[in-house]
Structure 1
Amino acid sequence: MTMPHKTIPESNHAKPVNLRIREDVRVLIDRAAKIRGKTRSDFMIDAAYRAAEDTLLDQTLVKVDAESYQQFLDILDRPPSGAGFERLMNAPKPWQG
């Protein structure tokens, strides 16, 4: 089952954007666009749109009341503990032989 994804609404006021890209990048984009059943332009527009949304969402300010904020700070100040933390700390490290 595929997850529905947001499509960019078409506008009657589309403006051209010209890009220069290396051949290897164009080939990669074309391969990915073909898999998605999209044109190169549509694929690039969708990808750029998602990246722009993500960037803007990363800048979203979350406001909480003083009590909730203090609870958050208290959790951050607690030393890590528990079985999950112990397992993580004892797991083999890829950089250690």
Structure 2
Amino acid sequence: MCPVASKVINLRVPEAKQVLIDRAVAVTGKNRTEFILDAVTEKAREVLADQTQFALGKQAMQRFNALIEAPLENPDALKRLLAKPSPWER
């Protein structure tokens, strides 16, 4: 297995925010680096999941609209899918 390369990210934090972060760190049992990395990674996933822009030509858009408006073949499958937590909620 190949070791994963690590990079350093430095940041300055106002004291009040550091105190808040350290209080949360103490509750989780993680170290500060793990806590911050987990929180930032979760936020990054959330932000990227919200970026759902795509472009279609006229024919592709008409096909897309037809598929969206068509009745569901298996509504129970959709219900099961929507009942699952999103990847960023896991």
Q: TM-score by structure 1 length?
A: 0.53
Structure 1 residue ranges (4+ consecutive) displaced by more than 4 angstroms after TM superposition: 61-64
The match for 2:26 is 34
Give ranges in structure 2 of 5+ residues lacking alignment.
55-60, 71-90
Task: Provide the secondary structure at the position in 2 that maps to 1:65.
Answer: helix
Q: In proportion to residue count, which structure has more helix?
A: 2
Q: Percent identity?
A: 36
Query: Which protein has greater RCO, CA pairs closer than 8 Å, 6+ apart?
Result: 2
Q: CA deviation at 1:60?
A: 2.8
Q: TM-score by structure 2 length?
A: 0.57
The match for 1:25 is 17
Pick from 1, 4, 8 the counterpart of residue 12 of structure 1.
4
Q: CA deviation at 1:67?
A: 2.4
The match for 1:60 is 52
Task: Provide the secondary structure at the position in 1 that maps to 2:66.
Answer: helix
What amino acid is the match of 1:14? S
> CA separation in 2, counterparts of 1:31 and 1:66?
50
Give ranges in structure 1 of 5+ residues lacking alignment.
1-10, 72-97
Tell me how large the CA RMSD over aligned residues is: 2.5
> CA separation in 1, counterparts of 2:53 and 2:47?
13
Q: CA deviation at 1:34?
A: 1.1
> CA separation in 2, counterparts of 1:61 and 1:39?
37
Query: Over residues 38-77 of structure 1, what are the superposed CA-to-partner deviations in whole Å (9 max), with x where a residue is unaligned?
Result: 1111100000000001110101358983224447xxxxxx
Q: CA deviation at 1:33?
A: 1.1
